[in-house]
Amino acid sequence: MLNNYLLSIIIFLPLIAALVVAFIPGKFKGAFKYIALGIASLQVLIAIVLLSGYDASYAGVNHLNEFQFLENVPWFDIHLSSFGHISADYIVGVDGLNMSMVLLSVVVMLIGTIASWNIKTREKGYFSLLLLLNGAILGCFLSLDFLLFYLFFEFMLLPMYFLIGLWGGVRREYASIKFFLYTLFGSIFILIAMIALNLSVVDPAATAVEAGLVQEGQVVSNEIVEQVQQSLAAGQLSRENLVHTFNMVYMTDPANYIPGSIMDYKVMKVILGQEGRLLMFLLLFIGFAIKIPVVPLHTWLPDAHVEAPTPISVILAGVLLKIGGYGLMRTAFMIIPDGVGYYGWMMGLLGVISIIYGALNALGSKDLKKMIAYSSVSHMGFVLLGLASGTTEGVSGAVYQMVSHGVISAALFLIVGVIYERGHDRIIQNYSGLINKMPRYTIFTVIFFFASLGLPGFSGFIAEIFVLLGSFNSSVVNGFLPKWMTIIAALGLIFSAAYYLWTIQRMFFGKFFTKIEVSNDELTDLNTREYVMLVPLVILALLMGVFPSFLLDMINNSIAVFTDVIGQYGDIIQQN
User: Among residue numbers 412 through 441, which ones bind another protein (CB under 8 A)?
Assistant: 433, 435-436
Which listed residue (90, 265, 420, 509) binds another protein by CB under 8 A?
Answer: 509
In the list 563, 566, 569, 570, the residue contacting another protein (rule: CB under 8 A) is: 563
Residues 304, 179: contact at Cβ < 8 Å? Answer: yes
CA neighbor of 37 nearest in space, from 148, 165, 123, 103: 123
Site for another protein in 10-69 (CB under 8 A): none
Binding mask 169-188 for another protein (x = CB under 8 A): ----x---xx-xxx-x---x
* 79 in Cβ contact with 85 (< 8 Å): yes
Contact flag: residue 233 with another protein (CB under 8 A): no
Scan residues 78-107 and list those touching another protein (CB under 8 A).
80, 83
Q: Which of 2, 27, 511, 527 binds another protein (CB under 8 A)?
A: 511
Cα distances (angstroms) measured from residue 428 to each of 61, 171, 312, 363, 508: 45, 20, 21, 12, 10
Question: Of the two residues 46 and 493, which places its CB atom closer to another protein in the complex?
Answer: 493
The pattern of x and - marking residues 103 through 132 that bind another protein according to CB under 8 A reads ------------------------------
Question: 435-463: b or e for each residue (b if 16 or more CB lie within 10 Å)?
Answer: bebbeebbbbbbbbbbbbbbeeebbbbbb
User: Distance (Å, rounded) from C-alpha 298 to C-alpha 409?
Assistant: 17
Minimum Å distance from CB 556 to another protein? 5
When binding is defined by CB under 8 A, the residue of 267, 491, 532, 535 that contacts another protein is: 491
Min dist. Cβ of residue 193 to another protein (A): 12
Could you say which residues in the range 322-361 bind another protein, by CB under 8 A?
357, 360-361
For residue 51, the 8-state DSSP code is: H
Name which of residues 193 to 222 contact another protein (CB under 8 A).
Answer: 195, 199
Q: Compute the residue count for the chain.
A: 576
Indicate the residue among 159 and 309 with the shorter CB distance to another protein: 159
Check residue 312 for interaction with another protein (CB under 8 A).
Answer: no
Binding status of residue 554 toward another protein by CB under 8 A: no
How far apart are CB 476 and another protein at their closest, in Å?
Answer: 5
Q: Which among 64-72, 113-121, 245-253, 492-500 is the span making contact with another protein, rule CB under 8 A? A: 492-500
Contacts of 494 (CB under 8 A, 6+ apart): none
- Contact residue for another protein among 19, 48, 487, 572 (CB under 8 A): 487
CA–CA gap between residue 339 and residue 32 (Å, rounded):
47
Total number of residues that touch another protein (CB under 8 A): 73
Which one of 24, 51, 542, 560 is in contact with another protein (CB under 8 A)? 560
Binding of another protein by 553 (CB under 8 A): yes
Residue numbers 449-478 binding another protein by CB under 8 A: 450, 455-457, 461, 465-466, 468-469, 472-473, 475-477
**Integer angstrom CA distances of residue 377 from 30, 55, 324, 370:** 37, 33, 12, 11
Among 4, 218, 221, 299, binds another protein (CB under 8 A): 299
Residue 352 CB, shortest distance to another protein, in Å, is 14
In the list 510, 525, 542, 543, the residue contacting another protein (rule: CB under 8 A) is 510
Asked whether 286 and 189 are in contact (CB, 8 A), the reply is yes
Q: Which residues contact 305 (CB under 8 A, 6 or more apart)?
A: 313, 316, 317, 369, 370, 372, 373, 376, 413
Q: Does 556 bind another protein (CB under 8 A)?
A: yes
Query: For the purposes of burial, counting CB atoms within 10 Å of the CB of 156, is it exposed (0-12), middle (13-18) or buried (19 or more)?
Result: buried
Q: Are 556 and 399 in contact (CB under 8 A)?
A: no
Distances in whole angstroms, Cα of residue 408 to Cα of each of 70, 383, 459 = 31, 15, 9
